[in-house]
């Protein structure tokens, strides 16, 4: 922004001062006047040749660098200087001299073409001055806002430092409180655990009695089932129909095998059957409760293919695939894992139904549980408060140490976001955090980069922000965004583009980059080129 008032001064001076014409060949800038002295031989500016002065602008190219023809189109690599009094001087390629097109606003390039050119330099200068005056006014107002931002940043920094000291002090007290509540919790949990353990053991003992009674009842029932003749004994012949009891699983259940199960005798009574029962209870199949075999699953390969989904899912109940991506955790589980899990849950549920639910705790145990739970709640609440304080300390330390500019002028941007709406997208810039892009009419947000660093030139490092490591492009690099900061009274994203694939460019105005304007009344040291 420093160049704006300087150029403004030049244009103001050019429009008001009395010009003094300095004689020199056509097309020569004043800065090179000393090389073109009339009456003396001219040496090409590259030093390659010296020719008589009358060969300067003779419409014949003598010098390789074209310096002997500054005012003609003879040299293809020459250049013509437009004086443009009242506006900005300029250079044009010598090929444009007398080409019938007015390139210089003072029309000096068409001196021999017959083209009708108007001298528009003063009008252009006037418009330029108006534009620069507006820019200078914006820079002035922006700089005043910047000074206010710096003042607020300094006050905010002191407040944060004070807040950090307070929070750090409070943290010590809170840490001591957490330690004390941890001790209280552990003391309360010890009698709670002991009481719950006693209750559980009593319940396990009760379940063991029930299981034993059920086992005895089942054993008695099997004895009666096997005792076909009702003589009070189970004999070898009565065991033989139960081939599932074959001890060696060779497909033949012999009398010897049956006698072995009976303990080497031909028959046993109800009292002696208990030892027999322990050997056969896992294999025995009751004839009165034959299990119905589960239907075999039809594999996918055996299922006839159908060209119409409605045949597989009648009444249009065709399932929709809500998400093409599978849960990574599900990939680790095969069909057997799911079946095993379902079987285990069914077994546990059946076991719970058979054994019943654990009875409620007695009043004394429940009181101990309630006291321990209260201690846990108080400890958890204090521990959460300590974590919140630690987060607050980290955030404060980050803000205090963060590079918000030479005078912290950019601090006001922290934790703010600014949007730009285009025809298709909504772009969001959250300074020092991230840049994102979201479709205007539905769709997921795309990360265009997270905060990387200040990336301006060495003499103006705070003029450019760099955001890196955004969402990866398909078969391309990760997205990144360069944010160019310009002076303005408002803080706003003005434009966005994608100059290269997956590399975005954002224009962002903010008073934080406005520089102090020069005094417009300063006298310009120089003169107009004529």
pLDDT digits (tens, 9 = 90+) for 417-433: 999 999 999 999 999 99
Calculate mean pLDDT across residues 316-332: 44
- Above 80 in pLDDT, residue 323? no
DSSP 8-state class, residue 443: -
CATH number at residue 502: 2.70.130.10
What CATH number is given to the structural domain containing 179?
1.10.238.10
* pLDDT of 361: 93
| Whether residues 424 and 491 fall in one domain | yes
pLDDT over 90 at 356, yes or no:
no
Residues 237, 187: contact at Cβ < 8 Å? no
pLDDT, tens digit, 9 for 90 and up, residues 183-192: 999 999 999 9
Q: Assess if residue 347 is contained within a domain.
A: no
Q: What is the pLDDT of residue 346?
A: 65
Residue 507: which pLDDT band, with cuts at 50, 70 and 90?
very high
Given 279, 309, 335, which residue is the final one in a domain? 279
* Judgement on whether residues 264 and 164 belong to the same structural domain of the protein: yes
DSSP annotation string for 22-85: ----TT--GGGGGG--TTS-EE-TTSS-EE-GGGTTSSS--STTSTT-TTSS--TT-EEEE--T
pLDDT-derived band at 499, boundaries 50, 70, 90: very high
Q: What pLDDT score does 390 carry?
A: 96
d(CA 25, CA 482): 47
- Indicate the number of domains in the chain: 3
Backbone angles phi, psi at 121, to 5 degrees: -60, -45
Q: Does position 128 have pLDDT exceeding 70, yes or no?
A: yes
- Confidence band for 293, pLDDT divided at 50, 70 and 90: very low
72 within some domain: yes
Within this chain, do residues 160 and 274 fall inside the same structural domain, yes or no?
yes
pLDDT tens digits for range 71-103: 999 999 999 999 999 899 999 999 999 999 999
* 166 and 269 share one domain: yes
Domain membership of residue 209 as a residue range: 152-279
Say if residue 23's pLDDT is above 90. no
Residue 185 in contact with residue 375, Cβ under 8 Å? yes
Cα–Cα dist 37/58, whole Å = 16
Parallel, antiparallel or unpaired: strands 434-439 and 42-43 = unpaired
Domain membership flag for residue 243: yes
Q: Does some domain include residue 518?
A: no
CA angle, 265 then 269 then 275, to 5° = 70
pLDDT-derived band at 519 (thresholds 50, 70, 90) equals low
Q: Which residues of 143-167 are buried (b: 16+ CB within 10 A; e: fewer)?
A: bebbeebbeebeebeeebeeebeee
What's the pLDDT score for residue 131?
Answer: 83
How far, in whole angstroms, is CA 266 from its chain's centroid?
Answer: 80
Asked whether residue 274 is assigned to any structural domain, the reply reads yes
Q: What is the mean pLDDT of residues 374-400?
A: 95
Mean pLDDT of all residues in 259-264: 87
What was the pLDDT predicted at 71?
94
What's the mean pLDDT in 197-226? 91
Q: How high is the pLDDT of residue 91? A: 95
Query: Per-residue pLDDT for 337 more than 70?
Result: no
Q: What value does the mean pLDDT of the chain take?
A: 84
Which pLDDT score is estimated for 324? Answer: 44
Query: 447-491, pLDDT tens digit by residue?
Result: 999 999 999 999 999 999 999 999 999 988 999 999 999 999 999
15 found inside a domain: no
| Residue 99 within a domain | yes
- 129-138, 169-178, 374-383, 406-415: which range is least confident on average? 129-138
pLDDT surpassing 80 at residue 289: no
Pairing of strands 480-487, 492-500: unpaired
Structure tokens at 460: 């103006």
pLDDT at 344 over 80: no
Which carries the bigger pLDDT value, residue 327 or residue 25? 25
End-to-end CA, the chain: 28
Q: State which of 118, 136, 161 marks the end of a domain.
A: 118
Percent share of the chain, pLDDT over 90: 60
Q: Which of 75, 94, 118 is the last residue of a domain?
A: 118
pLDDT > 70: percent of the chain: 81
Asked if residue 184 and residue 84 are part of one domain, the reply reads no
């Amino acid at each position: 922004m420093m160049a704006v008032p300087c150029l403004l001064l030049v244009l103001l001076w050019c429009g008001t001062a009395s010009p003094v014409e300095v004689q020199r060949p056509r097309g020569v800038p004043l800065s090179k006047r000393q090389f073109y002295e009339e009456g003396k031989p001219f040496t090409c500016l590259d030093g390659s040749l010296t020719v008589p002065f009358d060969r300067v602008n003779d419409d014949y190219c003598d010098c390789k660098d074209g310096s002997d023809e500054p005012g003609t189109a003879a040299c293809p690599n020459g250049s013509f200087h437009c004086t443009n009094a009242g506006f900005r001087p300029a250079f044009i390629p010598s090929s444009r001299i007398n080409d019938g097109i007015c390139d210089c606003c003072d029309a000096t390039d068409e001196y021999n073409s017959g083209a009708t050119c108007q001298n528009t330099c003063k009008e252009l200068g006037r418009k330029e001055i108006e534009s620069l005056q507006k820019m200078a006014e914006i820079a002035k107002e922006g700089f005043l806002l910047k000074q206010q931002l710096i003042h607020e940043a300094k006050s905010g920094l002191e407040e944060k430092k004070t807040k950090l000291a307070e929070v750090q002090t409070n943290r010590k007290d809170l840490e001591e409180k957490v330690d004390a509540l941890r001790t209280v919790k552990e003391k309360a949990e010890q009698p709670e655990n002991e009481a719950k353990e006693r209750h559980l053991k009593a319940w396990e003992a009760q379940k063991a009695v029930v299981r034993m009674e059920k086992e005895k009842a089942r054993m008695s029932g099997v004895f009666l089932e096997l005792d076909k003749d009702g003589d009070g004994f189970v004999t070898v012949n009565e065991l033989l129909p139960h081939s599932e009891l074959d001890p060696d699983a060779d497909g033949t259940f012999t009398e010897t095998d049956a006698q072995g199960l009976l303990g080497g005798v031909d028959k046993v009574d109800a009292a002696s059957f208990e030892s027999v029962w322990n050997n056969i209870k896992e294999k025995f199949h009751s004839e009165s409760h034959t299990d119905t075999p589960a239907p075999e699953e039809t594999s996918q390969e055996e299922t006839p293919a159908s060209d119409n989904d409605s045949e597989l899912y009648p009444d249009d109940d065709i399932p929709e695939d809500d998400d093409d991506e599978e849960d990574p955790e599900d990939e680790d589980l095969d069909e057997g894992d799911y079946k095993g899990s379902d079987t285990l849950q069914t077994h546990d549920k059946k076991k719970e139904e058979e054994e019943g639910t654990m009875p409620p705790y007695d009043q004394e145990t429940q009181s101990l549980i309630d006291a321990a739970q209260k201690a846990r709640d108080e400890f958890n609440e204090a521990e959460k408060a300590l974590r919140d304080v630690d987060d607050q300390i980290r955030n404060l330390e980050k803000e205090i140490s963060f590079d918000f500019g030479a005078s912290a002028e950019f601090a006001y941007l922290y934790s703010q976001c600014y949007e730009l709406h285009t025809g298709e997208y909504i772009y969001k810039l959250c300074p020092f955090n991230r840049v994102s892009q979201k479709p205007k009419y539905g769709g997921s947000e795309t990360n265009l980069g997270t905060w990387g660093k200040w990336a301006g030139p060495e003499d103006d490092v705070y003029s450019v922000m760099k955001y890196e490591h955004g969402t990866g492009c398909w078969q391309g690099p990760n997205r990144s965004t360069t944010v160019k900061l310009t002076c303005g009274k408002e803080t706003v994203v003005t434009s966005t583009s994608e100059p290269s694939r997956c590399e975005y460019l954002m224009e962002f105005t903010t008073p934080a980059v406005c520089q102090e304007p020069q005094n417009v009344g300063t006298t310009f040291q120089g003169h107009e080129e004529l």
